[in-house]
Structure 1
Amino acid sequence: MYHPTVARLTYRALLGRRRALMLCALPALLLLVALAVRVLVGADDAVTAELLGGFALATMVPLIGVIAGTGAIGPEIDDGSVVYLLAKPLKRPTIILTKLVVAIGVTVTFSAVPTLVAGYLLNGNSQQLAVAYAVGAAVASVAYSALFLLLGTISRHAVVIGLVYALIWETLFGSVMPGARALSVQQWALSVAERIGPESLISSEVSLPVGLLLLVAVTAAGTGWAGRKLRTLTLAGED
């Protein structure tokens, strides 16, 4: 179900000069801020949790997910080049799953890994905060990749919609409104981080079983819907 040629083309599209700069910007900012905080404030667990939760998990991860998820297939649909890919003797689920794997790999690399490094810079992984938020970022990366990959298949305005979701729902409403928090990928990922780190510094609106169930459900539903949409595009092209 994984096709190396499709993966190579997708990596090339995602890691082109312009997208690579966008992908590197937020992790670089996180690491610079983490270094500055460590120098100016010292090792502080509360500050570490605030920065990793408020910036890394709540803002950086969904934004990188938007770039990687929509960029894995959206541009090919927009410029029509997806027709050449669909003309190949490839199963549509293989195309979607390959692109999802690539999007997840890119999102984890540019979000979970910098989160781990930033956590070590901030407090040396005291109370397992660096590992907790890195694992949270990794599981969120999977759901975001599937969600935004789906968005890239169903809308020509996927990036705009994704940014609205990431910046308004996840970052704003998901941080202040109780109902919105329970329907947020961020909160589902926090339920995983909470199990690893201290409950006094990491808290989620949902329990771990519910968080895991919703993460799996969103990932599966997004992947399945994207596959069905790709089959519809194929039929339209053939007609």
Structure 2
Amino acid sequence: MYNPTVARLTYRALLGRRRAAILFVLPALLIVIAAAVRAFSGADDQVATHVLGGFAMATMVPLIGVIAGTGAIGPEIDDGSVVYLLAKPVKRPTIILTKLTVAIAVTMAFSAIPTFVAGMILNGNGGQIAIAYTVAALVASIAYASVFLLLGTVTRHAVVAGLVYALVWEGLFGTLVKGARTLSIQQWSLALAEKIGAPGAIDSDVGLPLAVVLLVAVTVLATWYAGQKLRRLTLAGEE
């Protein structure tokens, strides 16, 4: 269920000069912020939690997920070039799973690695904070990539819809409105971070068992429905 040719084309599309430049901006900003905070305040577990939770998990990871998830297939559907891919003897579920794999890999690379580096800069992994947030970023990358890949198959405005979700729901409501947090990929991922980190270092509004169920359910359902949407596309690019 993995096609190397589709994967190579998807990597090329996601890591082209313009898109790669965008992908590098947020991780670089996180590391710069971490270095500046460490220089001014020294190693502090609470400060590290605020930076990694407030910027890395609430902003950087979902935005990178938007770029990678929607970019893996959305542009091909929008400009009609997906018909050339669909005309090849490759099963459509294979296309979706391959593109999802690439989107997950790119999201993980540009979110989890910088999160770990920033965590080490901030407090040297005191309280297992760097490791905890890195694991949360890895897990969140899977769910975000699947959800935003789905958006790329159902709407021509996938980037806008993804940004609204990432910035408004995850970044604003998911941080400020208590009830909305239970429906947040960010909070589900933080449940894992809470388990890994030192007691009291990281908080999540969702229990770990429920968080795992929701993460798996959202990932599987989003991937399945994206496959169904692609299956219904004709070679004219219309449903």
Gaps of 5+ in 1: none
The 5-angstrom pairing of residues 1-239 of structure 1 reads 1-234=1-234, 237=237
Provide, for residues 74-129 of structure 1, a one-character-per-residue CA deviation record: whole Å limited to 9, x for no partner: 00000100000000001111000000000000000000110001000111001100
Q: Which is further off, 75-84 or 190-199?
A: 190-199
Q: For the structure 1 residues 51 and 93, does the alpha-carbon distance in structure 2 shift closer, same or farther, using more than 3 Å as the test?
A: same
2:219 partner letter? T
TM-score, normalised via structure 2 length: 0.98
**What is the rounded CA distance, in whole Å, between the counterparts of 2:238 and 2:209 in structure 1?**
44
Once the 2 structures are TM-superposed, how far is the Cα of residue 142 of structure 1 from its aligned partner? 0.2
Question: How many pairs were matched up?
Answer: 239
Provide, for residues 13-58 of structure 1, a one-character-per-residue CA deviation record: whole Å limited to 9, x for no partner: 0001111011000000000010111111110000000000000001
CA RMSD of aligned residues (A): 1.2
**What is the rounded CA distance, in whole Å, between the counterparts of 2:235 and 2:193 in structure 1?**
43
**What is the rounded CA distance, in whole Å, between the counterparts of 1:173 and 1:40 in structure 2?**
30
**What is the rounded CA distance, in whole Å, between the counterparts of 2:9 and 2:236 in structure 1?**
23
SS of residue paired to 1:199:
coil
TM-score, normalised via structure 1 length: 0.98
**What is the rounded CA distance, in whole Å, between the counterparts of 1:192 and 1:86 in structure 2?**
38
**What is the rounded CA distance, in whole Å, between the counterparts of 2:238 and 2:163 in structure 1?**
33
Contact 2:77 2:237 in 1 (8 A): no
SS of residue paired to 1:234:
coil
What is the percentage of aligned positions where both structures have the same residue? 70
SS of residue paired to 2:77:
helix
**What is the rounded CA distance, in whole Å, between the counterparts of 1:189 and 1:50 in structure 2?**
16
Q: Which is further off, 197-206 or 63-72?
A: 197-206
Q: For the structure 1 residues 17 and 238, does the alpha-carbon distance in structure 2 shift closer, same or farther, using more than 3 Å as the test?
A: closer
Gaps of 5+ in 2: none
Provide, for residues 109-152 of structure 1, a one-character-per-residue CA deviation record: whole Å limited to 9, x for no partner: 00011000100011100110000000001100000000000000
